[in-house]
């Protein structure tokens, strides 16, 4: 009958060891993954940070006894005209193939396929599967396929142009950046498409119905309702493909290997070439660190946005 013990003293804090003991099985479960991640992600990143402060090399006198050189590698990086060129190439490549190519194409494909599904057009499935296939296809095969497509004498593109009466184009020689952008757009459009397709399915239909009752035509409905509701997820998709495109290596390496000259040398190729062709591990590491930092910045923005969405 009596209200329970009102103003008793504050409760004893939980015995920390007890609480930790209860969490122990879960922490053990995390251990194997943590070890692998530490060994192959965190460790190498830290090692790169360390090596970038030395003159570590694969061959020569510095290979035996690497010296600590402070920020010399970074200073060299800032004054390196090649690096400026590499950054320019990377930006062009990312903007061209991710922001313009994959994003615009992916969005268009999603709108088209979503619309087709609503209309009940079955052939949309074929287009959908084709886009997906280009995406799951191993990257090195993609590179090979496009080497063949772009081939000057026998490539399908030039054969097609010849049929149309147009002269052969030296794709990889004259327009190397355009070529790798086309290939990467082909390879990666599916990701953006899938994300937008998912998002389109979640737009509640009553919004459309309300707009239709209000007398909005199809274009108005699209501009006023469809596009705005895709904006937040579109921003995340854009960041996501920017990050993955920024790290592109294999595709360009197989297509042009950065050439002709250095016209398509993006940052990952430059780091690789410095480290393995010029054997300058220290300098290559500095490039890798810059790359990690740029990616890190994008990732932070990405995670903040996605958290805000959730």
In the range 128-157, which residues lie near other proteins by CB under 8 A? 129-134, 136-142, 144-149, 151, 153-156
> What helix, strand, coil percent values describe the chain, rounded to 5?
75, 0, 25
**Which of 60, 159, 166, 277 is close enough to bind other proteins by CB under 8 A?**
159
> Nearest approach, Cβ of 45 to other proteins (angstroms)?
6
Closest CA to 89 of 177, 174, 170: 177
Tell the smallest beta-carbon distance from residue 17 to other proteins (Å).
12
233 in Cβ contact with 125 (< 8 Å): no
Selected binder of other proteins within 17, 33, 79, 215 (CB under 8 A): 33
Q: How far apart are CA 139 and CA 150, in angstroms?
A: 16
Nearest approach, Cβ of residue 128 and other proteins (Å): 9
Q: How far is the CB of 99 from other proteins (least distance, A)?
A: 14
As a whole number of angstroms, the distance between CA 268 and CA 219 comes to 42
Distance CA 230, CA 106 (A): 13
Q: Which of residues 4-23 bind other proteins (CB under 8 A)?
A: 4-6, 8, 11-14, 18-19, 22-23
Per-position DSSP letters for 76-138, written without gaps between them: HHHH-HHHHHHHHHHHHHIIIIIIIIIHHHHHHHHHHHHHHHHHT-TTHHHHHHHHHHHHHS-
Among 64, 213, 308, 310, binds other proteins (CB under 8 A): 310
Shortest spacing between CB 81 and other proteins, in angstroms: 22
By CB under 8 A, residue 103 contacts other proteins: no
Counting contacts by CB under 8 A, is residue 64 touching other proteins? no
Residue 263 φ then ψ, to 5°: -65, -25
Smallest separation (angstroms) from other proteins to the CB of 281: 6
Interface with other proteins, residue 61, by CB under 8 A: no
Site for other proteins in 253-292 (CB under 8 A): 254, 268, 271-272, 275-276, 281, 284-285, 288, 291-292
Residue 250 token pair: 């294999």
Among 66, 178, 249, 263, binds other proteins (CB under 8 A): 249
Q: What are the contacts of 291-294 at 24+ separation with CB within 8 A?
A: 291/246, 291/247, 291/267, 292/45, 292/48, 294/246
**Structure tokens that stand for 5 in this block:** 């013990």
- Asked if residue 126 binds other proteins (CB under 8 A), the reply is yes
Q: What's 276's DSSP letter?
A: I
Distance CA 150, CA 264 (A): 15
Q: Does 68 bind other proteins (CB under 8 A)?
A: no
- Of 92, 95, 115, 216, the residue at the interface with other proteins (CB under 8 A) is 115
Instruction: Give bridge partners of residue 54 from the DSSP assignment.
Output: 68
Q: Is 216 in the site for other proteins (CB under 8 A)?
A: no
Which residues ranging from 225 to 244 are in contact with other proteins (CB under 8 A)? Answer: 233, 236-237, 240-241, 243-244
| The pair of three-digit structure tokens given for residue 234, joined into one six-digit string | 């579109």
Binders of other proteins in range 161-200 (CB under 8 A): 184, 186-188, 191, 194-195, 198-199
Residues whose CB falls within 8 Å of the CB of residue 62, separated by 6 or more in sequence, listed in order: 55, 56, 282
| Residue among 116, 169, 177, 216 that touches other proteins (CB under 8 A) | 116
| 26 lines the binding site for other proteins (CB under 8 A) | yes
CA dist 90 and 246 (Å) reads: 7
Residue among 54, 245, 256, 264 that touches other proteins (CB under 8 A): 245
């Amino acid at each position: 009958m009596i209200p329970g013990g009102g103003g008793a003293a504050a409760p004893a804090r939980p015995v920390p060891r007890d609480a930790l003991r209860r969490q122990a099985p879960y922490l053990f479960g995390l251990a194997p993954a943590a070890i692998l991640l530490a060994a192959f992600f965190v460790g190498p990143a830290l090692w790169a940070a360390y090596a970038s402060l030395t003159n570590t090399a694969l061959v020569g006198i510095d290979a035996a006894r690497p010296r600590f050189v402070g920020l010399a590698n970074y200073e060299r990086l800032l004054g390196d005209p090649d690096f400026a060129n590499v950054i320019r190439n990377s930006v062009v490549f990312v903007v061209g193939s991710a922001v313009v190519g994959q994003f615009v194409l992916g969005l268009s494909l999603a709108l088209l396929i979503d619309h087709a599904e609503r209309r009940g057009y079955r052939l949309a499935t074929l287009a959908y599967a084709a886009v997906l296939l280009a995406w799951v296809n191993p990257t090195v095969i993609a590179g090979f396929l496009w080497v063949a497509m772009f081939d000057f004498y026998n490539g399908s593109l030039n054969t097609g142009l010849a049929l149309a009466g147009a002269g052969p184009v030296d794709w990889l020689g004259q327009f190397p950046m355009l070529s790798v952008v086309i290939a990467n757009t082909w390879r990666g459009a599916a990701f953006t498409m899938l994300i937008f397709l998912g998002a389109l399915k979640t737009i509640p239909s009553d919004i459309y119905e309300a707009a239709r009752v209000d007398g909005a035509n199809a274009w108005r409905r699209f501009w006023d309702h469809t596009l705005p509701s895709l904006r937040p997820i579109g921003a995340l998709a854009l960041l996501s493909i920017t990050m993955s495109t920024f790290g592109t290596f294999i595709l360009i390496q197989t297509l042009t290997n950065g050439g002709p000259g250095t016209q398509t040398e993006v940052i990952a190729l430059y780091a690789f070439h410095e480290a393995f062709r010029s054997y300058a591990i220290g300098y290559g590491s500095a490039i890798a660190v810059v790359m990690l930092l740029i990616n890190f910045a994008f990732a932070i923005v990405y995670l903040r946005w996605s958290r805000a969405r959730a």
